[in-house]
Amino acid sequence: MATILLTEARFYPHLNEMLLAGARAAIEKAGHKHETLTVPGALELPGAIALAARSGRFCAFVALGVVIRGETYHFEVVSSESARGLLDLTLQGFAIGNGILTVEDEAQAIVRADPGQGDKGGDAARAALALYELREQYGP
């Protein structure tokens, strides 16, 4: 039984609750344990995962959060750089599922976050588990 760390950027709590519910259900269905770590925003997710990975307690990681387009260029920076940071860690051998939603508005986020609709939290957890299984099969 593996322990998976759910890292969440808690900028939109009501949306994160849906992402977390989907991720937790997917991990529990697969027979694994999970813990949750909260950070302020999506840009902090890669750093939090890198720090938590040093502990050696977690076999995989799920990054969860919501970035909604605003009136400034900040949306592009946050969405691109958080994804880049997660990809960099994945290429270093960490099993990470990216569940950071990048959407135009809250309505899109709800559809994607809701476990009964898009279930992107569950999808991210399943992706992390798939990468964990690959790493177990092929070695670190």
Task: Kindly list the domain boundaries of the chain, sorted by start residue.
Answer: 3-107+118-135
Give the three-class secondary structure for 116.
coil
* 42 belongs to an annotated ligand binding site: yes
* 72 belongs to an annotated ligand binding site: yes
> Which residue type, as a one-letter code, is found at position 123?
D
pTM: 0.96
Q: Please state, in angstroms and as integers, the Cα–Cα distance from residue 53 to each residue in 24, 47, 62, following that order.
A: 19, 10, 12
* 16 belongs to an annotated ligand binding site: no
| Residue 74 bears catalytic tag | yes
Q: Yes or no: say if 14 and 44 are a contact pair by the CB < 8 Å rule.
A: no
Catalytic residue among 14, 32, 34, 74: 74
Q: pLDDT by residue (tens digit) across 50-100?
A: 999 999 999 999 999 999 998 887 889 999 999 999 999 999 999 999 999
Domain over 3-107+118-135 is classified CATH 3.40.50.960 = yes
Give the three-class secondary structure for 120.
helix
Rounded CA-CA distance 136/14 in Å is 35
